[in-house]
Amino acid sequence: MQLLSSPGTFFKASRVAASLLLVHAAALTLAPLARAADTSAPYSPNVTAAPDRQVYFGDTHVHTGLSADAGGSGTRLMPEDAYRFARGEEVRSNTGQPVKLRRPYDFFMITDHSDGMGLISDILQGTPNVMADPKGKRYHEDFNAGGQQAADAMFRLIAEFSQGQTPDALLYQPGVAAYTKVWERLVAAAETFNDPGRFTTFIAYEWTSLVKGNNLHRNVIFRDNADKALEVVPFTTTPPIGSRNPRDLWSWMAAYEEDTGGDVTAIPHNGNLSNGMMFPLRDDFDNGKELDAAYAKSRMTWERIYEVTQYKGDGEAHPLLSVDDEFADFETWDFGNLDVSEAKTAAMLPGEYARSGLLRGLQLQQTLGVNPYQFGFQGATDTHTGLSTADEDNYFAKFTTTEPSAKRTTHAGKSNPDLGIDGFTGWMYNAGGITAVWAEQNTRTAIFDAMERRETYATTGPRIALRFFGGWSFADDDANAPDLARKGYEKGVPMGSELPAAGAKAPGFLISALRDPLGANLDRIQVVKGWVTAEGEAKEHIYNVAWSDERKLDAKGKLPSVGNTVDLSIPTWSNSIGASELVIVWRDPDFDASLAAFYYVRVLEIPTPRWTAYDAVRFGVEAPEEVTLITQERAYSSPIWYTP
């Protein structure tokens, strides 16, 4: 230590030091008051940041033993069982097999049929009103016999309902005590199992419209709790109380919202069994008159998302409609309508598939000024076993009669030899899909709101994390940003949105796909573009925009196969090919600012074993030659629309 030269100097220096300490102490005392008056932005960015949207996975289309076709064919699992299973508990299947999900769902909806609530319980019990009717008595005997006899009776019940031939004694409608009891049970179960933040359930039902066998079903989903949902009963399809016309369903929905202050939406069933009626160009319920703007506005308002994939086939595209799309023929069902009463024709196909429906929407917008088919994508199972299983190695069937067994791949479904329709066999059922939503939290309000703004996507089973944004100012480096989603929201709009016009500059799209952490690597990202010329001609193009393994596009924009590592003897596959993540900023090289267009993303996994391959090994059976054993799972984003 350096000594001071004299005591006087020491004293002076000490006073200076003391005064500095006092000033410093005063500053410490006054500083909090100064900061309290500071109105600048806080240091912590999390204070003012909007909540991040997370991806949540769920099923929006599930039937239990309370649906007549499910309960009649052997399903005994009730809503309470289905909810316990969906949140991760082990249950016993309808055939007594233990079954559990690898991962619970985040959200779940039971959508038992609107028509005939309470009917199957009375048929099985043999109540006096059922036994007094000859058909009712026969159904009682057949359904209680079980097995194939019950399955045949189930198809007969569907056919009679489809053709309007159900006896009055079996037409259970609102006002019947048994009907009301079932609706109250469904609402109570949804309320009991709703656990916001962990496992969200919704009050819902399936409006079961069938027009001579053509499937026009819609799943009606409530944002609300029981206090509002119990002010109504489901809208049915049987006159004079109900109607098969979607316009009348939309009117019922509007009245519900006006009367209760609630919120409700409808999700159309995938259209591949509608025989062209799902996306009409003319009004099938009004002598084929041209659609009007009122129809277009109502449909766009009440049907925000569309079921693009489920157990009864995939509904994105058809190879006859998209001849240049090498991946269009995926889980295709195109033999007829729901009850196989009418054969499929090529002319029906454009009214059935999502991509052609989107194109028709652009065409109608040219004449009506409103796009009736401006829908987002979602997936579901449509299981009728109460067990929602979308994984290939855990597929528990569409119906109880095809729960896991050595014979289910060749199990005969509905056919119509008189019309030359072979129908389907058990192996044709698809194992997926599920719905993904981007929402701030796992609650009814947040998930419902995500569906209404169409920030949703479908997968055929895997939990791929998919982001898709469109905008006019994305930079290539945005694909490498650690806060990619924030860049997407700040510079553009997310999937399901409309892209505003901004001159002749081509739009950019920020796309990110991350593989399912328990699944297969990714093969590629594709952008599907659809547009309509000034003359009204519908066009489409598939762009390969990101891919794995250093492959190169050929002169026509085609990409070589990613390869195939599937070993059917186990079965298994290897993630030695493909990529765990694909990210890109892509710009439309063929953009025409004068033409309306839509864009959506399709993500493909590398090849993996299909559920039929797992069955072949588990049961030691040889699959027939026509059975598909290898699949390429996929995800479909909701579109982004451009309107000049």
Model pLDDT, residue 49: 75
DSSP string, 512-549: EEE--TTSPPEEEEEEEEEEE-TT--EEEEEEEEEEST
Residue 614 corresponds to which amino acid?
Y
Helices (H) and strands (E) in the chain, counts: 15, 29
Question: What are the Cα distances from residue 233, in Å, to 67, 252, 504?
Answer: 16, 11, 51
The pTM assigned to this predicted structure is: 0.92
- Beta-strand ranges (E) seen in 383-483 are 434-439, 456-459, 465-471
Model pLDDT, residue 14: 40
- Domain borders along the chain are 54-449, 463-642
Displacement of CA 104 from its chain's centroid (Å)? 16
**Is residue 635 classed as helix, strand or coil in its secondary structure?**
strand
3-state helix, strand, coil in the chain (%, to 5): 30, 20, 45
Model pLDDT, residue 39: 60
Displacement of CA 61 from its chain's centroid (Å)? 9
**Distance between CA atoms of 595 and 532, rounded to whole angstroms?**
7
- CA-based nearest residue to 594, from 496, 503, 508, 515: 503
Low-confidence ranges of the chain (pLDDT < 50): 1-35, 37
Model pLDDT, residue 301: 98
